[in-house]
């Protein structure tokens, strides 16, 4: 890698092509960015001093056989260079110096020195081949940029030669073997959203693969706005935010390396599990394990369609069905931040055609995950457990899952029994998201949704409330002994003292005594107003007082229901 200061003349040297990846996303700059660039051009003219326009990243490509001896992929700089070239085109046309534009931005053979992507190539070439200013309709951002500069350029404030002399970039040149994904991740940290999928798209297809691109990519990931919005949605996984499309490609790769069709080296499995080098992992597995790109694309399309049909982030804002199946698994994944389940669930969707068998397995997965949340069992090993263990072992039924667990004395990935579950309901202190999830999932099974006049909302639409407040000292009965105070402070954090309600209570109500907290006052409602239809709470709002014993009783009630909902057979 080489980096250094570059001028326009250094970058466009008469025999170098800058190639925007053909299937790169479209040009998206608009009037805000055009105005800023025009101000920069006027500033350079007035000051006649160097002005940096950021970094550009170029990657060397194999030397083509034709007369062009230097082709570089433009990794970062598409938006700026596109705009700059349109700006110079308009400026040169306005000053009758189109020959100066062509000398700088065309090759000796007459071709443009910037090869654009498939979205913009027609409009870009149209504008750059104008011999004089023309009136055109603004059908896309390329043509809008042309019209903006045609209307806004003030020749009294612009000097072409001063601008050319003073535009500066920090150029980073990569050779053919260097890892552009690492550079992309650096760009991501600076706020530019670039996905692994964009790299993969241009890795799988080139300018001669239009038909394959239409079949295996556009119709899958870019068919219409609804489809693009689905795949572009971002969610947090661990410490990172990832687009759904990147999450899919990660999940598919994990299935590919663990399902047993390939004999993947252990060190490669470890490497391929790192999401931050996902693009390099795809290139390596295709290269070193002799995968056929065409066959891979067919399988990717099948898995991607399954993914889109079944994984629904918006489940957190919808009423949850009481029937075990993919909807409830979605609520666990997206409502309880358990995205490590996705590769295994996708594997099951692909390999189990019988809906009853799938739903039985999904019921057991819910049982397994929810019991472990209640007892505070770690989920840090889920990625390895659900991929390396279950996918590798071909576990695709409830019976196989149960047998897999029973045949191993696994202290990390164990399924908690009823005794552990009971302890969890009485003793576990969980984070709010987990507590809300447990109570919400129980509520969705306990309530009779046909009988209830109040609809169950989505999990994200409920707040978690402590029935006995954490700040109980001023409004609740005093506890003189320190041992009893400590016991109360512990019990009020456990599940028996927690409930979901439709709206957070006002602070003046939240810390009030039991009667006030139930009824509220004046404009501020209490528990009764915001818990309509909540059957995990309703029976307890008739209690005259709320204390440690009632917390114990409610914990037992929740446990009894959990034990029957998340059944463990042959304990």
Question: Which of 31, 252, 50 has its CA nearest to residue 165?
Answer: 50
Whether the pLDDT of residue 348 is over 60: the answer is yes
Say what the pLDDT of residue 64 is: 56
3-state secondary structure at position 566: coil
pLDDT value of position 449: 53
Find the mean pLDDT for residues 40-46: 94
Q: Is the pLDDT of residue 192 over 50?
A: no
Q: How confident is the model at residue 70 (pLDDT cuts 50, 70, 90)?
A: confident
Q: How does DSSP assign 88-113, residue by residue?
A: HHHHHHHTT-HHHHHHHHB-TTS-BS
Q: What is the tens place of the pLDDT at every residue in 142-155?
A: 999 999 999 999 99
* Whether pLDDT at 503 is above 50: yes
Q: Summarize the confidence of residues 253-270 as an average pLDDT.
A: 92
With a cut of 70, say whether residue 194 has pLDDT above it: no
Residues in the chain, overall count? 571
Confidence tier at 544 by pLDDT (50, 70, 90): very high
* 13, pLDDT greater than 90: no
pLDDT of residue 191: 42
Report the pLDDT value the prediction gives residue 182, as an integer from 0 to 100. 60
Q: What's the whole-number mean pLDDT along residues 188-213?
A: 76
559 or 184, greater pLDDT: 559
Backbone angles phi, psi at 409, to 5 degrees: -90, 75
CA distance 541 to 516: 12
Residue 189 has pLDDT above 50, yes or no: no
**Closest Cα partner for 461 from 331, 287, 298?**
331
**pLDDT-based confidence at residue 411 (cuts at 50, 70, 90):** confident
Q: Of 78-82, 168-172, 318-322, 347-351, where does mean pLDDT reach its minimum? A: 168-172
Q: How many percent of the chain have pLDDT more than 90?
A: 68
- Give the global pTM: 0.78
Once rounded to an integer, what is the mean pLDDT over residues 312-328?
A: 95
Least confident segment among 146-155, 281-290, 408-417: 408-417
Residue 409 and residue 525 in contact, taking contact as beta carbons nearer than 8 Å: no
pLDDT tier for residue 452 given thresholds of 50, 70 and 90: low
8 Å CB contact between 63 and 245? no
What is the per-residue pLDDT for 190?
43
**Contacts for 307-315 with beta carbons within 8 Å, 24 or more apart?**
307/248, 307/251, 307/346, 308/227, 308/230, 308/231, 310/345, 310/346, 310/349, 311/244, 311/342, 311/345, 311/346, 313/233, 313/235, 313/244, 315/458
Bridge-partner residues for 243, per DSSP? 234
CA-to-CA distance for 525 and 543, rounded, in angstroms? 18
Task: Judge whether residue 392 has pLDDT over 90.
Answer: yes
Q: E strand or H helix at 140, and its extent? A: none
User: What percent of the chain clears pLDDT 70, i.e. is strictly above it?
Assistant: 94
The per-residue pLDDT for 166 is 92
pLDDT band of 65, cuts 50, 70, 90: low
Axis crossing angle, helix 418-427 with helix 548-565, rounded to the nearest 10 = 150
What is the arithmetic mean of pLDDT over 390-415? 92
Residue pLDDT, tens place only, 117-127: 888 999 999 99
The overall average pLDDT reported for the chain is 90
Nearest to 501 by CA among 522, 528, 521: 528
Whether the per-residue pLDDT at 188 is higher than 50: the answer is no
Tokens at residue 43, please? 């500033």
């Amino acid at each position: 890698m080489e980096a250094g200061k570059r001028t326009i003349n250094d970058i466009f040297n008469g025999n170098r092509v800058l190639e925007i990846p053909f299937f790169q996303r479209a040009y998206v700059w608009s009037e805000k960015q055009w105005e800023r660039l025009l101000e920069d051009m006027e500033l350079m003219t007035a000051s006649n001093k160097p002005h940096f326009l950021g970094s550009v990243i170029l990657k060397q490509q194999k030397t083509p056989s034709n007369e062009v001896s230097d082709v570089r992929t433009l990794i970062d700089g598409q938006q700026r260079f596109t705009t700059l070239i349109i700006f110079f085109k308009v400026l040169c046309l306005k000053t009758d110096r189109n020959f100066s534009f062509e000398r700088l931005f065309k090759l000796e053979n007459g071709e443009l020195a910037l090869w654009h992507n498939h979205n913009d190539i027609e409009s870009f070439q149209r504008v750059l081949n104008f011999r004089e200013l023309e009136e055109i309709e603004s059908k896309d951002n390329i043509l809008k940029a042309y019209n903006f500069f045609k209307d806004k350029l003030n020749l009294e404030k612009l000097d072409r030669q001063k601008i050319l002399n003073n535009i500066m970039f920090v150029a980073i040149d990569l050779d053919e073997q260097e890892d552009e994904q690492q550079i992309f991740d650096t760009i991501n940290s600076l706020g530019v959203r670039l996905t692994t999928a964009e790299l993969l798209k241009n890795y799988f297809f080139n300018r001669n693969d239009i038909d394959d691109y239409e079949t295996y990519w556009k119709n899958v990931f870019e068919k219409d706005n609804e489809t693009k919005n689905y795949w572009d949605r971002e969610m947090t996984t661990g410490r990172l935010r990832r687009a759904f499309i990147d999450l899919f490609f990660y999940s598919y790769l994990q299935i590919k390396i663990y399902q047993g069709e390939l004999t993947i080296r252990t060190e490669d499995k470890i490497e391929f599990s790192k999401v931050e080098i996902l693009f390099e992992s795809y290139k390596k597995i295709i290269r070193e394990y002799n995968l056929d790109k065409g066959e891979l694309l067919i399988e990717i399309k099948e898995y991607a369609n399954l993914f889109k049909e079944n994984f629904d982030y918006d489940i957190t804002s919808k009423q949850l069905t009481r029937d075990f199946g993919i909807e409830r698994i979605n609520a666990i994944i997206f409502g309880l931040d358990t995205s490590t389940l996705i590769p295994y669930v996708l594997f099951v969707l692909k390999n189990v055609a019988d809906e009853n068998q799938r739903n039985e397995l999904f019921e057991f997965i819910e049982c397994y995950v929810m019991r472990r949340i209640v007892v505070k069992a770690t989920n840090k090993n889920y990625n390895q457990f659900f991929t390396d263990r279950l996918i590798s072992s071909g576990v695709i039924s409830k019976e196989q899952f149960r047998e897999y667990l029973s045949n191993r004395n696994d202290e990390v990935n164990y399924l908690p029994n009823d005794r552990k579950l009971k302890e969890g309901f009485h003793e576990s202190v969980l984070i709010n998201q987990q507590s809300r999830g447990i109570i919400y999932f129980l509520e969705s099974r306990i309530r009779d949704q046909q009988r209830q006049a109040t609809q169950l909302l989505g999990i994200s639409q409920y707040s978690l409330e402590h029935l006995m407040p954490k700040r109980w000292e001023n409004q609740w009965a005093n506890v003189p002994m320190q041992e009893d105070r400590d016991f109360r402070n512990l019990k009020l954090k456990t599940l028996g003292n927690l409930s979901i309600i439709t709206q957070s209570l006002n602070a003046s109500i939240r810390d009030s005594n039991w009667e006030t907290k139930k009824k509220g006052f004046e404009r501020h409602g209490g528990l009764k107003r915001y818990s309509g239809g909540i059957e995990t709470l309703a029976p307890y709002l008739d209690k005259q007082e709320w204390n440690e014993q009632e917390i114990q009783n409610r914990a037992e009630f929740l446990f009894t229901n959990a034990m029957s909902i998340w059944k463990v057979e042959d304990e």
